[in-house]
Amino acid sequence: MTLRRKNIQLLLSINNNPLTVKELSVQFNNSERNIRYMMENLDYYMEKILDKKIEKENKKYFALLNDMEVNSFLENVYKKFYIFDSSEREEYIMLLFLFVEDITLSDIEKKVKTTRATLKKDMEVVADELKKSELFFYRSKNRIYLGGNEKKLRHLKMKKIRQYFFLQNNKIQSKVKEQVLYYLDKSFVLEQINEEKIELIQEKVNRIQNEFQCSFNQEFNEILCFYLAVTLERIRKEEYIMRKDNYQILVCTEEYEIVKNALKDLIPDYLNYEFAHLTEYFISGKNNLDSYEFRENIELFTGSLLDYLSNKFHVDVRYDMYLQNMIVSYLIPAIYRLKNNFNIGSVENTSEFFYAIKEFCKNENYLFEKLTDVEIAYIAELVERRISVEKNKIISLKEMIGVIEKSCEVKDRDCLIDSIMKEYKDIIKNDL
């Protein structure tokens, strides 16, 4: 016999909390018969490991275990008797590639107690999930590694740390009760970051907060501390952020100098793009710009804008994730600048995209601040670069007319040609 996640969750549900089989059946969305079987299985291992059994009184089942007994039970179960389900294996695989250096498939097989064939299927699922963060698996010297967008990689690592840990009194604490699976394995997620530096990192965050003359909320403070810890780990491995499209804008802010001065004894002075990227994070916290509502509005603005431009210029960029991310990442500090009347210069060049976006911005209601010509010009440049690639894929008018003439009866061919050229003149080659 073995134990699975629901067995452990069942134990935690009835520990010092009497419940009937019917109540447990509703809670776990399982038949009463399955609940009884799960409790028999659990009872067997409780007696085997702790020499204790599940109690029953007035048709209610409960366990009487203190925290030390629960911890001892979980430790023994995870070492000897636990079986991962598919979702747990997939999550575990992702964590191993994110937080363990030079992990091998053989190592993973042993840890999750699975076959190579099952592992490969799990990794395909994980690979699809990683694509959402512009990350991917690649092979080098008979090993598989995780690569892709460095900024997204760091952000994902920070999110995973926060999923299983939290900060309390400058110490990293495990969310063991909420995340049962990783009770035994919690340490490997933190092995790459220097836990001893968390207190120093918190001091730096506090210094920046004071010099910004603001107060970060508790959640964002934790985000900053864990993200800084991940950043320092990546820099130690010589994995750097080497470009940032809004770099020139960020380095002109007083916040950039504050962040750089505060962190210069942790991050080499020449890594200016690293300081710029972190400045953007701190700016978000200063103005509560990392809130869900704020980001959602920017994403809605971006999606609506790309939909408008796609229709206007007959090039579909609605699902261009790269372009969407570029615009969103630019708009976060842009809104901050607008809120604080920060001037970054004048507009020199304009284009048809500039005027189209300016027209769109007149009636949009998503952003908290109206964009000026400077912001519009920058976004127009981003869009133009991407759209120009698609517009260069010209269409043969001869081929289009051939398709139309084969498909339907055309009464006035010249009129049809004139109509098509008027509508699609920028993307059709007139080769008649």
What's the pLDDT at 386? Answer: 78
pLDDT above 90 for 290: no
Please tell me the distance from the alpha carbon of residue 71 to that of residue 53, in angstroms, as a whole number.
16
Please tell me the distance from the alpha carbon of residue 303 to that of residue 200, in angstroms, as a whole number.
40
Reduced to 3 states, what is the DSSP secondary structure of residue 288? coil
DSSP string, 182-243: GTTTHHHHHTTS-GGGHHHHHHHHHHHHHHHT----HHHHHHHHHHHHHHHHHHHTT-----
Please tell me the distance from the alpha carbon of residue 359 to that of residue 291, in angstroms, as a whole number.
28
pLDDT, tens only, 338-360: 765 554 555 666 788 999 999 99
Contacts of residue 170, defined as CB under 8 A and 6 or more positions apart, other chains included, come to 198, 199, 202
Please tell me the distance from the alpha carbon of residue 36 to that of residue 24, in angstroms, as a whole number.
10
Q: Which of 170, 394, 345 is nearest to 246 (CA)?
A: 345
Which uninterrupted H or E stretch holds 386?
helix 373-391
The encoded tokens of residue 363 equal 């009636």
Mean pLDDT of 306-313: 89
Mean pLDDT of 266-270: 94
What region does 170 belong to: left with phi over 0, alpha with psi -120 to 50, or beta? left
pLDDT, tens only, 397-420: 676 677 676 656 555 677 777 777
What value, to the nearest 5°, has the Cα angle with vertex 92 and ends 90 and 97? 100
pLDDT above 90 for 245: no
What mean pLDDT, rounded, does the chain reach? 83
Reduced to 3 states, what is the DSSP secondary structure of residue 29? coil
DSSP string, 346-380: ------HHHHHHHHHHHH--SSSS---HHHHHHHH
